[in-house]
Amino acid sequence: MTEVAESVAGRMPAASRTRRMAGGPRLRRLVPALYIAFLLVPIYWLVNMSLKTNEEIVSIFSIWPKHPTLANYMVIFTDPSWYSGYINSIIYVVMNMAISVTVALPAAYAFSRYRFLGDKHLFFWLLTNRMAPPAVFALPFFQLYSAVGLFDTHIAVALAHCLFNVPLAVWILEGFMSGVPKEIDETAYIDGYSFPRFFVKIFMPLIASGIGVAAFFCFMFSWVELLLSRTLTSVDAKPIAATMTRTVSASGLDWGVLAAAGVLTIVPGALVIWFVRNYIAKGFALGRV
Amino acid sequence: MDKTWNNKGWFFVLPVLALVLFSAAIPLMTVVNYSVQDTFGNNVFFWAGSEWFEELLHSQRFHDALWRQFLFSAIILAIEVPLGIGVALAMPRKGWGVPVCLVTMALPLLIPWNVVGTIWQIFGRVDIGLLGHTLFGLGLDYNYVRDPLDAWITIIVMDVWHWTSLVVLLCYAGLVSIPEAYYQAARIDGASRWAVFRYIQLPKMHRVLLIAILLRFMDSFMIYTEPFVVTGGGPGNSTTFLSIDLVKMAIGQFDLGKAAAMSLVYFLIILLLSWIFYTVMTNAGAERGRATGGEGGR
């Protein structure tokens, strides 16, 4: 009894001391708020610039657009050299996503359920590909895809991005699959399910969120990559990222259109981020949180 | 989980193996091929042995790029890790603030890397950028195109802006996994805020923090697009990191043998780091397995 009384008595000052040393709840809220402000200000500036005309950008310095205009966005949506960049990017990103997740699913299942000759070495080798600097692969990819006649096609970029996306998908899916108890597989076999039927009807719904997260991360890492996609394309499959860098070097002046193009590349990520918000950490940590 | 020994696993792995052999092993062999040969053009190659490697390992240019790369990664880690932990500790644990924080903080992670470069290129300009204009207004002689120090600061701030959220999100994932009972026990013991951090939160974050540090190190070690867009490696060579230097050499100058030798050295460094990463990841996984196994037995 006395012990309990003591601990209760001891708790009050300790609790208030804890709060004081953490700087109080107000300061506690200030840190994330300041950090988010730091993150959003540069993005705001890009949006701000995309709504101004070039004359306004160069002549008047203002925190918000004095004469907001959508002209820069109109340029992008009407000029084929701009909007085809978006279409090309989306085509190879979706191709890459489909390929990566499809081949990664069975592999991740094998890694999460079986031990086999050389499994650990193979798993490690996959990781080294995720970590490999694209700069090392830029030139050999260029030569390889030129040799097989795939240079400047969407599939070339999609296959090249498999270099880091397939390992990523395998690792993320393995993380999710290891959370599914093995008894489920065994029960399904006893119930007379064949393996493909079990995999599609029972197992895939169980790890649906994992598949979604893996697909999202494949989409994302393929979407943000520039070096390989720029090296492997020239005209027909030129991604939006390359279009942007070349416009800068060519004219160096059309800031408004450049800003608008940048804003439009942020949109896809911003649209789907809500659905994966609870899995972002897991995805970035290769399924290991 | 106990896994059964079954070599049938190889059939499941086969598609991945074929794909990665095509997209990684063949290109890498091309690199090995170039690194031991020399050419006078016309696709006539002859054996050069370890010549390229010797030249590379003695070249000042490679030493400089490597040194800049390590310095950059060290500065990035020194800033992003403490900042990330700090923000994660201060983040709300429940209520409407949680999704708002998660979504806005993840936003920079999803922006294409060249757009990150473009954002900061514009943001830092003295004539049209908010940051450059403000600093200029304060009387500072800030110009990232001309001054190497300003270029470095811009790139570091940009990387902090771009990637600190990764550390925050990982640490936050570690923090929310701590049961409330731990904090109650600490309060009963009258533990100070520092003691709570040192003996409860830090050990619980240990694993995710290691992953965050390793990921940040690896990714900053192969950074290419963002500094390429902002400074193009300049002024001079002051922000030419390993990847930028390599691409300059391979595609700019078409100096195949030397670039290939550099690629291999670069890749070996990455391989070593990956091995450390893998060991840490799998050991942490084993720890997690033991921990949950213990709870199950209780």
In-domain check, residue B1: no
Whether A107 and chain B come into contact, CB under 8 Å, resolves to: yes
Q: Taking a C-beta distance cutoff of 8 angstroms, is the pair B150, B144 a contact?
A: yes
In-domain check, residue B69: yes
Domain positions in chain A are: 2-50, 78-284
Q: What is the mean pLDDT of residues A123-149?
A: 86
Q: What is the mean pLDDT of residues B185-192?
A: 89
Question: At B91, which CATH number?
Answer: 1.10.3720.10
Nearest CA among B244, B104, B130 for reference residue A64: B130
Residue B188 lies in domain: 53-297
Nearest CA among B164, B155, B166, B153 for reference residue B83: B164
Contact (CB<8Å) B211/A285: yes
Residue of A nearest to B254 (CA): A139
Number of domains present in the structure of chain B = 1
Contact (CB<8Å) B19/A284: no
In-domain check, residue B140: yes
In-domain check, residue B16: no
Distance CA B247, CA A140 (A): 12
Contact (CB<8Å) A7/B111: no
Nearest CA among A139, A108, A106, A141 for reference residue A126: A108
Checking ipTM against 0.85, whether it exceeds it is no
Q: Is the pLDDT of residue A99 over 90?
A: yes
Distance from B224 to chain A by nearest Cα, in Å?
8
Average pLDDT, whole number, for chain B?
84
Judged on CB neighbours under 10 Å (0-12, 13-18, 19+), A226 is buried
For residues B125, A49, A260, B248, the Cα torsion angle rounded to the nearest 10 degrees is 0
Of B5, B31, B122, the CB nearest to A115: B5
Report the topology of domain A78-284.
Answer: MetI-like fold (1.10.3720)
Q: Taking a C-beta distance cutoff of 8 angstroms, is the pair A244, B114 a contact?
A: yes
Radius of gyration of chain A (CA): 25
Q: Is the pLDDT of residue A12 over 70?
A: no
In-domain check, residue B231: yes
Express each pLDDT in B79-131 by its tens digit: 999 999 999 998 888 888 888 888 999 899 889 998 898 899 888 888 888 88
Nearest CA among B173, B216, B202, B228 for reference residue B79: B216
pLDDT, residue A246, reads 64
**Testing the interface with A: which of B8, B10, B12 to mutate, by most A Cβ within 10 A?**
B12
Question: How many residues belong to chain B?
Answer: 298
In-domain check, residue B222: yes
Express each pLDDT in A272-282 by its tens digit: 888 888 888 88
In-domain check, residue B94: yes
pTM: predicted TM-score of the whole model, two decimal places: 0.84
